Amino acid sequence: MPYSFVAIEKEKTHTIAVLLVILVVMYFFTCWGAWLIVKNAAVLQATRGEGFRFLGISLPEVVVVFLIAMIAGVVHYAYSTSRLIPRLLALLKAEPLDTHSRTHQQLQNIIDEVCVAAGGLCIQGCVVRSAACNAFSLSDGKENSYIGVTEGLLLRLNRAQLESVIGHEAAHIAMGDTVIYTVSTSLFGMYEGAMSGLRESCSGGRSLRGRGGGFWFPGGLALGFIMCMHGLNRFIMASVAQEKEFRADAVAVKLTRNPLALAESLYIVSQFWHGQKESQRGLESLFFADPAVEEETVFSSHPPLSERLGILLAMAHADEPALEAALARVRPRIRQAKRHARASRRVRRKTDGQAWSVLEEGRWKGPFVLSELQGLKWFTASHKVRREGAPAVKPAYEDHVLRSLFASAANEKEASFSCPHCYQGLSPRYYEGEQIHVCPSCKGVLCGRSRLDTILIREEASFSPETVELAHHIKDECEQRFKEIRALKTPFILPCPQCGKKMRRKLLSRAAPVEVDLCIWCDLVWLDRGELELVQVLYDEREDKDSFLA
Q: Which residues of this protein are in contact with other proteins, per CB under 8 A?
A: 1, 102, 105-106, 109-110, 112-114, 116-120, 163, 255, 257, 430
Length of the chain counted residue by residue: 550
Count of alpha carbons within 13 angstroms of residue 111, beta-carbon side? 24
Q: Which is nearer to other proteins, 160 or 407 (CB)?
A: 160
Nearest to 30 by CA among 70, 2, 3: 70
Handedness of CA 6, 7, 8, 12 (dihedral sign): positive
Q: Sort strands 504-507 and 427-431 into parallel, antiparallel or unpaired.
A: unpaired
Minimum distance from residue 1 beta carbon to other proteins (Å): 7
Helix locations, 159-304, DSSP H: 159-174, 177-188, 190-203, 208-212, 216-256, 259-271
Minimum distance from residue 252 beta carbon to other proteins (Å): 13
Q: Which amino acid is at 514?
A: V
Q: Which is nearer to other proteins, 430 or 492 (CB)?
A: 430
Q: How far apart, in whole angstroms, are the C-alpha atoms of residue 26 and residue 39?
A: 20
Nearest to 398 by CA among 432, 368, 367, 442: 442
Q: Which is nearer to other proteins, 107 or 138 (CB)?
A: 107
CA 460 to the chain's CA centroid: 19
Q: Following DSSP, what letter does each residue of 143-183 receive, concatenated?
A: S-EEEEEEHHHHHH--HHHHHHHHHHHHHHHHTTHHHHHHH
Nearest to 145 by CA among 164, 129, 121, 113: 121
The CA dihedral of 78, 79, 80, 84, to the nearest 10 degrees, is 90
Q: Which is nearer to other proteins, 23 or 455 (CB)?
A: 455
Minimum distance from residue 154 beta carbon to other proteins (Å): 14
CA 105 to the chain's CA centroid: 16
Q: Which is nearer to other proteins, 87 or 102 (CB)?
A: 102
Q: Which is nearer to other proteins, 402 or 438 (CB)?
A: 438
Helix locations, 272-399, DSSP H: 305-315, 320-330, 334-351, 370-375
List strand residue ranges (DSSP E) for 28-186, in order. Answer: 94-96, 124-128, 135-139, 145-150
Q: How far apart, in whole angstroms, are the C-alpha atoms of residue 207 and residue 415?
A: 64
Minimum distance from residue 161 beta carbon to other proteins (Å): 14
Q: Which is nearer to other proteins, 259 or 291 (CB)?
A: 259
Q: Which is nearer to other proteins, 18 or 116 (CB)?
A: 116
- Could you tell me if 174 and 130 are in contact, meaning their C-beta atoms sit under 8 angstroms apart? no
Q: Which is nearer to other proteins, 79 or 430 (CB)?
A: 430
Non-local CB neighbours of 76 within 8 Å, separated by 6+ positions: 23, 27, 187
Minimum distance from residue 3 beta carbon to other proteins (Å): 11
Minimum distance from residue 503 beta carbon to other proteins (Å): 28
Minimum distance from residue 461 beta carbon to other proteins (Å): 16
- Could you tell me if 403 and 393 are in contact, meaning their C-beta atoms sit under 8 angstroms apart? no
